[in-house]
Amino acid sequence: MSATNDTPAAAQAPESQWRPIGEAVTGAGDVPVEVIESLCMNCHENGETRMLLTVIPYFREVIVVSFRCEHCGHSNNEIQSAGQIQPLGAIYTVKCTDRDDLDRQLVKSEHCTISIPEYQLTIPAGRGQFTTVEGVLADTVRDLEHDQPLRKIQHPELHDKIAELVAKLRQIVPDTDKDDDEEQGPTASTSTPPPMPTFTLKLDDISGNSFVETRGGLQDSKWSKREYGRDKQQDEQLGLQHDEAQDKATSHYAEEVLSFPGVCSLCGSELETLMKKVTIPHFKDIILMSTNCHDCGYRDNEVKSGGAIADKGRRITLKVEDSDDLSRDILKSETAGLTIPEIDLELNPGTLGGRFTTLEGLLQQVYEELDEKVFARGDSSVAAAAGEDSEMARFLGDLKKAMNVEIKFTVVLDDPLANSYIQNTWAPDPDPGLTEEDYERSHEQNEELGLNDMKTENYGHVDVIEGAEAEQQDGSTKPAPQDDGKPIVQA
């Protein structure tokens, strides 16, 4: 019995060393701190190094290291990851819109690079830190201002550029020393600080051991995390052996989000387009693409189908009888047309582009597009002068009734490439309200899709006909000029 009782206690002893960091701040409980005598690299006397083993919520175990020398007053703080290098690198993005976001805690490993795209500022990888967003910006401003008097003499142009950047950062992190001197004067002002400009903070860590605090858990709308696979150069920086076999695959991990740079079509600023592969159960793989411009706010979402072109087209018919049918997932590709015969609604292929949403969301988008962007009111409406409801108004009313399921209706989704989908709520059994019909594409449909001229076999070899045979095929055979001993001049 004694051996059985001692085993769990012994197993729990190492785990108790890792306590949440909040207990160290509030003083709750006995948080162990290791104290080690170490050499000061400033005065070469002995100082003290304190190490705290702690756990950061929604992150992992870290070691907070603090050194102080009582002889010369030199101090240094650093943070080290207590875990292993993560299999994926990570990019954390935080949209800072007010001064409360400056208080977010931040873990920066020695492999992490911090950037602010709005100011074209990049902080290279260095020592690990456990600080806040405001602390990172304050350290950056202090480092930039350190050699400014010398730069003003040796490199005036560089001094002016850095001074301009420091002035922008001072709007976010004011100079506290300067403010204290002004408050001690006779004209001390008690006005509130000016509004903070909005900026984006990005942490790119190839080891995956950095972190930014979230507000309200992982559902924080200002906070996002994206993981990516490391390339050969990044693995060599971490001292890891790169797996060459993974480079041959399109996607190394199922949850990987790919990104590539681009240019905003509205303001011309640089932006990032994200792309992710999603597998729809009982269907196929699709590609979700998202573009977001942080300068002008432009956003665009697009859905592309993955895989080969189907041999036949597909027509999907859904009978909508209650509100549960409106919650079905629907994938409408850019080549699909949608029809609702009961209300005379017909969407041609290409309308609304590719969409992956619910049936209710798709109908809502159709209603908003027709209600806002067509001439449904005013002098352009039918029978407006007679005081009667226009045809468009009656149509929008019928569409609204269909959205509220006040009438039963039928949705027909016709896709010649069979890249569209409506969720089968009875899967894997047949759905009584859903029918699918495969059909042979017509010659006109193949012509519109560019399939008639598509050559998939022996496309690398092209027979080139030369000489008289080529002229005969073109029907442009001309008699050879007679050689009368005079030179032939061609214009």
pLDDT in tens, 100-136: 999 998 888 888 999 998 888 999 988 888 889 999 9
Give the predicted TM-score (pTM) of the model.
Answer: 0.46
Cα–Cα–Cα angle for 455, 459, 460, nearest 5°? 165
Give residue 274's pLDDT band: very low, low, confident or very high (50, 70, 90).
Answer: confident
How many Å apart are CA 119 and CA 135, to the nearest integer?
A: 17
**Both structure tokens of 396:** 């929008």
Residues of the chain with CATH 2.60.120.1040: 89-180+195-237, 313-449
Per-residue pLDDT at 17? 59
pLDDT at 488 over 70: no
**Both structure tokens of 209:** 């051991």
Per-residue pLDDT at 209? 87
- CATH domain 15-81 topology: N-terminal domain of TfIIb (2.20.25)
pLDDT at 144 over 70: yes
Identify whether 428 is preceded by a cis peptide bond (ω within 30 of 0).
yes
The position carrying tokens 């709520």 is 425
Per-residue pLDDT at 6? 46
Q: Are strands 19-20 and 46-55 parallel, antiparallel or unpaired?
A: parallel
In this structure, of 87-91, 150-154, 181-185, the range with the lowest mean pLDDT score is 181-185
pLDDT at 25 over 80: no
What digits encode the pLDDT tens for the residues 301-328?
A: 888 877 778 889 999 999 999 989 999 9
- CATH match for 313-449 among 3.40.50.620, 2.60.120.1040, 3.30.450.20, 3.40.50.720: 2.60.120.1040
Q: Within the chain, what is the greatest distance between any pair of CA atoms?
A: 122
* Domain 89-180+195-237 of CATH type 2.60.120.1040: yes
Give residue 489's pLDDT band: very low, low, confident or very high (50, 70, 90).
Answer: very low
How many Å apart are CA 424 and CA 432, to the nearest integer?
A: 9
Per-residue pLDDT at 138? 93
* Domain 254-305 of CATH type 2.20.25.420: yes
Among candidate residues 402, 289, 296, 430, the one with its CA nearest the CA of residue 341? 402
pLDDT at 487 over 60: no
Between residues 223 and 475, the one the model is more confident about: 223
Per-residue pLDDT at 8? 44
Residues of the chain with CATH 2.20.25.420: 15-81, 254-305
How many Å apart are CA 225 and CA 214, to the nearest integer?
A: 11
Residue 213 φ/ψ region, left for φ over 0, alpha for ψ in the -120 to 50 degree band, beta for the rest = beta
